Amino acid sequence: MMDRGAAQSFFRRIARGWRNVREAGTVQLALTAFLLCVALFIARYSWVLPDGSSPTPLTSEAERAFYDLRAYYSADLVEEDKRVVLVVYTDQTLIKARKRSPLDRGLLAKTLRTLDAMEPKAIGIDILFDQPQDEDEELIAALRGMKTPVAVAYAATATNPDDIEWEQQQYLDQFIARLKGSKARPASIRLDNTFGATRLWPDISKGLPPLLGRVMLAEAGEPATAFAGIKNKPAYERLEMRRFIDKHGLTAYTMNPHFPVNTLQLMRAAVAAQQIGVFKPYVEAMYACMWERALKMDDPAVFRQALLDAGLPADQLLELITTDAVKGGLMANTEAAVAAGAFGSPSFLVGTELFFGKDRLRDVEEEVLRQAGGTATKA
């Protein structure tokens, strides 16, 4: 409790403060109140005005500068990812094309054909085709003729109400629909340029295609690494892995030092193995090569030798994975998995019920028994 002397001192300060307020005068009080309101306004709307779209004069520029400065000095420095190449149209490119905005889609079609000849793993286009242009037929023909999987930017009015109008949405949907059956598929992006730069990752909204980066990774057979910068997550995953190994007696398991690897040829060969009736021995052999023998399975020579060691028809499988039928089959499988809700491996679909992760095997077993009309004993 506050003693009597402290209480008296407190109330004397209150009285003195109130006396100072009365002696300040109307003009000084009004100026103080005005400056306080300005400070609160700047604190709340330093980026953008209350309408949500107009940048706040002066302060928004300062905020942007300080934001970039903080990001520059606080963000972790990482090496450039050599797998990713940005194809950028410079001012010189646009000058030679004699068309600045919107981008000449005939030029884009030519670029896509050139890139396709270089045999990349995947191509992503972050340009929305939401308005008609004279070169649309040429671009659609180029996209439909691509041998390389292409992720085409898609956005919806539901998540971008300030940037896409109804007419734009209709044309974008029609454009995407004309790519059906090709290796071009939609991928979600989010338009957010309020602060002069897109700094927000798009939300993963139900009913929209997967994000552009994830589509490219999936098509290229590259894993999407999550929690890479979280200190305790990898350590716990190793602990959980060890528990799983001990529980199931997986004595031959060894961590593959080459992981993660590009699994594109492995997945295509799995489709080919299904076609010629050797799917089960193929899967068993490839998992053993990856997680028992610790081979570098994205090396073509290693992959071929692994097929031979397993007694599988190596030459036939390697020939089949280059065919459009196998490539299209893998794309169809991927699209079906995404449509069913899958987002990673291992995923298990029991009827319409989806389960993800090896730690859900017991749940999978119980669901199989439940759907079969049996019962499962819970641990």
* Res 326: pLDDT: 93
Q: For 251-278, what is each residue's pLDDT tens digit?
A: 888 888 887 788 889 999 999 999 999 9
Q: What percent of the chain has pLDDT over 70?
A: 78
Q: What are the φ and ψ backbone dihedral angles of 285, each rounded to 5 degrees?
A: -70, -40
Q: What torsion do the CA atoms of 104, 124, 342, 253 make, to the nearest 10 degrees?
A: 170
* Res 116: pLDDT: 92
Look at residue 341 and tell me whether its pLDDT is greater than 70.
yes
Across the chain, what does the average pLDDT equal? Answer: 81
Local confidence band at 283 (pLDDT 50, 70, 90 cut-offs) = very high
Helix then strand then coil, in percent of the chain rounded to 5, is: 50, 5, 40
Burial class (CB in 10 A: 0-12, 13-18, 19+), 28: exposed
Question: What would the mean pLDDT of 69-83 be, rounded to a whole number?
Answer: 70
Q: End-to-end CA distance of the chain, in Å?
A: 56
CB 131 within 8 A of CB 156: no
Residues paired with residue 211 on neighbouring β-strands, in sequence order: 188
Look at residue 312 and tell me whether its pLDDT is greater than 60.
yes
* Res 378: pLDDT: 46
- Copy the structure tokens of residue 171: 């044309």
Number of residues in the chain? 379
Local confidence band at 197 (pLDDT 50, 70, 90 cut-offs) = very low
Look at residue 109 and tell me whether its pLDDT is greater than 90.
yes
Look at residue 3 and tell me whether its pLDDT is greater than 70.
no
Q: Which residue has the higher pLDDT, 8 or 367?
A: 367
* Res 368: pLDDT: 92
Look at residue 296 and tell me whether its pLDDT is greater than 50.
yes
Entry pTM = 0.46
* Res 139: pLDDT: 95
**Alpha-helical runs (H) found in 158-278:** 166-177, 212-220, 232-248, 264-276
Q: Which residue has the higher pLDDT, 141 or 334?
A: 141
Smallest CA-to-CA distance from 291 within 329, 335, 244 is with 244
Delineate the domains of the chain, giving CATH numbers in brackets: 4-74 (no CATH), 91-220 (no CATH), 251-259+261-345 (3.40.30.10)
* Res 4: pLDDT: 67
Q: What percent of the chain has pLDDT over 90?
A: 31
Q: For 345-356, what is each residue's pLDDT tens digit?
A: 888 999 989 998
Q: Which residue has the higher pLDDT, 238 or 60?
A: 238
Burial class (CB in 10 A: 0-12, 13-18, 19+), 121: middle
Question: What would the mean pLDDT of 292-314 be, rounded to a whole number?
Answer: 93
Look at residue 332 and tell me whether its pLDDT is greater than 70.
yes
Q: For 142-195, what is each residue's pLDDT tens digit?
A: 999 999 999 998 888 877 777 788 888 899 999 999 998 898 989 888 665 554
* Res 280: pLDDT: 96
Look at residue 321 and tell me whether its pLDDT is greater than 90.
yes
Look at residue 199 and tell me whether its pLDDT is greater than 50.
no
Local confidence band at 324 (pLDDT 50, 70, 90 cut-offs) = very high
Q: Among 201-205, 331-335, 343-347, which is the least confidently predicted range? A: 201-205
Give dist(CA 286, CA 281) in Å, integer. 9
Look at residue 86 and tell me whether its pLDDT is greater than 50.
yes
